[in-house]
Structure 1
């Protein structure tokens, strides 16, 4: 059985938009997984320490037969392949992949919280999700559109589509 999974993408190092574009291709190639849609990319100010470049963020909608922990393992493998280093909380990164929503699953264990706990507070996550599926609702019944309307604006800037040539 396939589950709809929504993955957040972020980068602010080493050509961030190109990092995200490569990550989208790698996500589409995951086993037992199909890419349904990709959001536009957005530029936003960093959360936390401001002594770093702006981020580029987006999201993808996958249909996957992987369980959430296996999918998390795959996301972390892709991050590592992009040179991800976890040196500072909310610090700069080559690639950040977050499992935001996994079907109607509510999960909170030592490795994973789904839906992502910071999702309601981050316009750079909510807007791409809204772009992907305007009627997306979290398992507890809250609409992403409602959360986006209530979320403080971080001056998101929609970026032109990446040039794949």
Structure 2
């Protein structure tokens, strides 16, 4: 008899500022949700955010999602990278423009430090563009001894706005106009 892995809830951060990032994020979330080993259980509204790190580029659209998965964290990362490639993501420069970026922010209560994966995601606790949408769907999740809500209260989130494209949490389930 083969034991099935127990599902874990992972928090993902999604963003992009090239092409149609809302479409790219929705396509990626729908693809994850179609997998037998993943189920999207919550998605934040879309937020329009100024660029971070490299500021001479277009604003980003950002969102967060909770995914229940039986994939281990490394396999989930590989699935996210595959989705980025499908959306024509090119990794040309750090913090540069992109069609789609998917980061694993949290994977259950695990702490993971490998060459390719750090969980909790490094710098997530100082980035309002991550904490604001994450607080919408997992505000009580404890990270480094504090809730996401408390971490967000320590960040300047004044320049983060709900996207005029769709402030609904079901934006990702809308059929594509294409």
Q: What TM-score, normalized to structure 2?
A: 0.88
Alpha-carbon spacing, 1:154–1:113, altered in 2? closer, same or farther (3 Å): farther
1:112-123 correspondence to structure 2 within 5 Å = 112-123=117-128
CA distance in structure 2 between the partners assigned to 1:27 and 1:60 by the alignment: 11
Q: Which residue, 8, 14, 19 being the options, matches 1:9? A: 14
Aligned pairs, number = 164
Aligned match of 1:156: 160
Is 1:79 the counterpart of 2:74? The answer is no
Q: What TM-score, normalized to structure 1?
A: 0.94
CA RMSD of aligned residues (A): 1.3
CA distance in structure 2 between the partners assigned to 1:3 and 1:154 by the alignment: 33
Aligned match of 1:26: 31
Alpha-carbon spacing, 1:154–1:49, altered in 2? closer, same or farther (3 Å): farther
CA distance in structure 2 between the partners assigned to 1:118 and 1:154 by the alignment: 19
SS at match of 1:18: helix
SS at match of 1:10: strand
Give the gaps of 5 or more residues in structure 2: 1-5
Kindly provide the CA deviation profile for residues 19-71 of structure 1, in whole angstroms up to 9, marking residues without a partner as x. Answer: 11112111212331111111100000101222211000001101100000000
Deviation of the 1:154 alpha carbon: 5.3
SS at match of 1:77: helix
Q: Which residue, 62, 83, 107 being the options, matches 1:102? A: 107
CA distance in structure 2 between the partners assigned to 1:154 and 1:76 by the alignment: 31
SS at match of 2:77: helix
Q: Which residue, 116, 132, 135 being the options, matches 1:127? A: 132
